[in-house]
Amino acid sequence: MKCPKCGKDIVRGVCGCGKRDIRKLGKLEPQFRLITLDRAAVNADTRTLSLAFSSEAPVERWWGMEILDHSPGSVRLGRLQTNAPLLKDHDTRNQIGKVETVSIGTDRMGRADVRFGKSGRAEEEYQDVLDGIRTNVSVGYIVHALVLESEVDGECTYRVTDWEPYEISTVSVPADITVGMGRDKTTWEETEITITLKTSEVSQETDPEETVCETCGNDPCSCTQTDPNNSTTEERTMPDVKIIDDAKKEARNSEQTRVREIMAIAAKYPQLEKEAREFINSDKTLDEFRTLALESIGGQPVSVTPDIGMSKREIKQYSLVRAMATLAECRPLEGLEREASEAVAKLTKREAKGFFIPQDMMTASFQRANEQVQQMFQRSLTANAFASGGATVQDTLLVADMISLLRNKPLIARLGARTLSGLVGNIAIPRITGGATAYWLPETGGVTPTDQQFGQLGLTPHRLVGDTAYSKELLVQSSMDIEAFVREDLMTVLALEKDRAAINGLGAAGEPLGILNTTGIGTTTFGGAATWAKIIDFETQVANANADVGQMAYLTTPSARAKMKGIQKATNLPFIWENGSEPGSGTVNTYRAEATKQVPGDKVLFGNFSDLIIAEWSGVDVVVDPFSQKKNGLVEVTLTLWSDIGVRHPGSFCVSTDSGAQ
């Protein structure tokens, strides 16, 4: 939601002009605070645990900094003192014990003794506490009254002068602090609060345009109650009405998403549990936690699901051509195409320059593109020019007989390269660069310590751009299934260039670094026509690097393939290149062998292609430009995706330094 005054987004109840805060909401749902328990305080004989459940430490909330006051009369202990429940994860249907005693200490902290039950689930939780596995407790409480102590640069600090704890829970990672896990609805209904403003400490600057009270509608406000003794306080009790505020809903949804995704990463990497709790309580951003996660877990990629969850029906209804035609007419995107683009933008946290094609649509298109024999990076389609698109404008057209443009053949993915999709931010993949050593020693010999050495393969987004043009007349007059044709044609452009970069990317001028230009890969020189001994040398070099595992294959050009098909291993033995089970493919010494013009200089490449990593960041951004080529009656379409390529272990590959077609 956007603030109607300044036009900026409202996040956690506050917009850019700082005029929307808790003082205009008047209600709060239950709050939760996390405390680390001391397992040494467990009495094994009585199954009781002494713990602190609250303090006056400031905690950041969406509405400001919160301080729980522990002065006499500030804490309503009645509910905790009458057999209050000890829960698991704030779930009222999962009681594991009860609160025995409660007190407020001289150190201004809330303390309690809790006793675990003997049911199966209670026993399980109790043992986890004894073993130090469950190390945290959280208290649920209701806020009844606040005092605004200070406001500096729009940051408010509130002291809670009337609050009521009602349950204590054992937790692993804190539950969703807005809705919780399995809580009954009545537990989280909003509670009316009273807000007291210490006017002597709060800036009294007001916006001259904002003089009418939102509560009573009068100017000056007639519902304000001023102390007749001219004290420095002003108290306002909000009316008992249902307040439905878009800002609060936005804040709640945002906080739910942040906590849920942090918890999901922590569940995947348990070693980050402590950091997850700290991030949730400190209200730090999800992106900050992802960055910490990458550093903490040795650079394992943290990803999001690349698909947006389109149904089969939606995939069938989605029209790339319709979206392009809409933007070509300078109209805003609408319908399914707009919703899909917005979903990708939200998923990737990136704004589209045009519109995003969802991964759901791209997957099938890339698969079909990889099966076609095609080559050409930039071209135009028009209806009037027969060779440029007019051939599709016919009274009767046999779509099945459509003549495909001859292109290079993309093969890297088929040879076993690993694809990491749906990535967020830069990633680093760990790899071992040196190993520990074991050796024999005499009885009194000393051990010389050796350590494993680690490195990282860093991957960052590189922009891959494809460009084409089409005429509006083509879209209007064509009788073929132009939708499938345009979609697969555009995806093929990107798939081919990504395949070429994986083989021979320069690692400069925006290109990723391909296999052939990776430092440390093995090399061999034919020095003439290919021989069986030289072919064996490829395999020997990879084996000597302990990399002869995984998806081993040969890759070369059609010319080199033709040569090896005519060279025998030895007299009366088969040829080096033998036909494979699939048309166009082959085998060399039982290993799969493929040929494509994507390989430069007729070189021969052999290796473990599963050690080639192709990283993809979600979404293809499509920009439709109806102006640049308008004099030619064309609309230019530019596609951008973000990808990177890297070799985990250079020793997994060996390439010829000269041509295999000599």
Predicted TM-score (pTM) of the model is 0.48
Three-state SS for 9? strand
Token pair for residue 243? 């307040």
8 A C-beta contact, residue 477 and residue 383:
yes
Q: What pLDDT does 8 receive?
A: 52
Range list of H helices, 237-272? 246-268
CA 416 – CA 421 distance, rounded (Å): 15
Token pair for residue 21? 């805060």
CA 614 – CA 422 distance, rounded (Å): 12
How would residue 562 be classed by pLDDT, with cut points 50, 70 and 90? Answer: very high
Chain mean pLDDT for the chain = 75
Q: What pLDDT does 5 receive?
A: 46
Indicate the range of 187-196, 445-454, 484-493 predicted with least confidence: 445-454
Q: What pLDDT does 543 receive?
A: 94
Q: What pLDDT does 500 receive?
A: 93
Domain annotation covers residue 233 = yes
Three-state SS for 224? coil
Domain annotation covers residue 596 = yes
Q: What pLDDT does 268 receive?
A: 65
Which residues, at least 6 apart from 599, have a Cβ–Cβ distance to it below 8 Å?
A: 503, 504, 555, 556, 557, 605
Domain annotation covers residue 141 = yes
Peptide bond into 650 cis (omega under 30): no
Higher pLDDT, 159 or 177: 159
Domain annotation covers residue 390 = no
Chosen domain end from 189, 216, 248: 248
Is 162's pLDDT higher than 60? yes
Q: What pLDDT does 607 receive?
A: 95
563-581 residue pLDDT tens: 999 999 999 899 999 988 7
CA 397 – CA 479 distance, rounded (Å): 7
Higher pLDDT, 427 or 511: 511
Partner residues linked to 141 by β-bridges: 31, 165
Phi, psi of 193 (to 5 degrees): -125, 155
Phi, psi of 629 (to 5 degrees): -115, 30
Is 655's pLDDT higher than 50? yes
Q: What pLDDT does 249 receive?
A: 59
Amino acid 404 reads: S
Which residues, at least 6 apart from 180, have a Cβ–Cβ distance to it below 8 Å?
A: 32, 89, 90, 91, 187, 188
8 A C-beta contact, residue 616 and residue 423:
yes
191-226 residue pLDDT tens: 677 777 654 333 333 343 444 454 454 444 545 444
Q: Quick one: the chain helix, strand, coil %, rounded to 5?
A: 25, 30, 40
577: domain CATH number is 3.30.2320
Domain annotation covers residue 152 = yes
Token pair for residue 425? 């931010």
Indicate the range of 346-360, 445-459, 508-522 predicted with least confidence: 445-459
Higher pLDDT, 582 or 334: 334
Phi, psi of 216 (to 5 degrees): -100, -15
Q: What pLDDT does 347 receive?
A: 77
- CA-CA distances (angstroms) from residue 654 to 114, 507, 538, 588? 66, 19, 6, 15
Residue 230, number of CB atoms within 10 A of its CB: 6
CA 239 – CA 25 distance, rounded (Å): 10
Q: Considering the chain, what percentage of its residues have pLDDT values greater than 90?
A: 24
Token pair for residue 288? 């900050």
The highest-confidence range among 216-225, 300-309, 330-339, 484-493, by mean pLDDT, is 330-339
First-last CA distance in the chain: 67
Domain annotation covers residue 264 = no
Beta pairing class for 653-656 and 522-524:
parallel
Chosen domain end from 214, 248, 282: 248
Is 539's pLDDT higher than 70? yes
Partner residues linked to 595 by β-bridges: 556
CA 429 – CA 646 distance, rounded (Å): 10
CA 197 – CA 153 distance, rounded (Å): 16
Axis crossing angle, helix 482-504 with helix 359-370, rounded to the nearest 10: 70
Token pair for residue 116? 């675990």
The three-state (H, E, C) secondary structure of 62-122, written as one string: CCEEEEECCCCCCECCCCCCCCCEEEECCEEEEEEEEEEEEEECCCCCEEEEEEECCCHHH
DSSP 274-342: HHHHHHHHHT--HHHHHHHHHHHTTTPPPB--S-----HHHHHH--HHHHHHHHHTT----HHHHHHHH
8 A C-beta contact, residue 466 and residue 631:
no
Domain annotation covers residue 312 = no
Phi, psi of 164 (to 5 degrees): -135, 100
Enclosing domain of residue 587: 515-615
Is 536's pLDDT higher than 80? yes
* Burial (0-12, 13-18, 19+ Cβ within 10 Å), 511: middle
8 A C-beta contact, residue 194 and residue 146:
yes
Look at phi and psi of residue 47 and say left if phi exceeds 0, alpha if psi is from -120 to 50, else beta: left
Across 537-634, where does the E strand assignment appear? 552-556, 577-579, 586-588, 591-595, 605-608, 612-625
Amino acid 545 reads: A
381-396 residue pLDDT tens: 445 554 444 544 444 3
Of the candidates 227, 245, 68, the residue with the CA atom closest to the CA atom of residue 161: 68
Phi, psi of 362 (to 5 degrees): -70, -35
22-51 residue pLDDT tens: 666 667 778 888 877 777 788 888 889 888
Number of domains in the chain: 2
CA 364 – CA 503 distance, rounded (Å): 23
Domain annotation covers residue 423 = no
Chosen domain end from 201, 225, 248: 248
Q: What pLDDT does 23 receive?
A: 65
Secondary structure letter of residue 568 according to DSSP: B
CA 296 – CA 304 distance, rounded (Å): 18
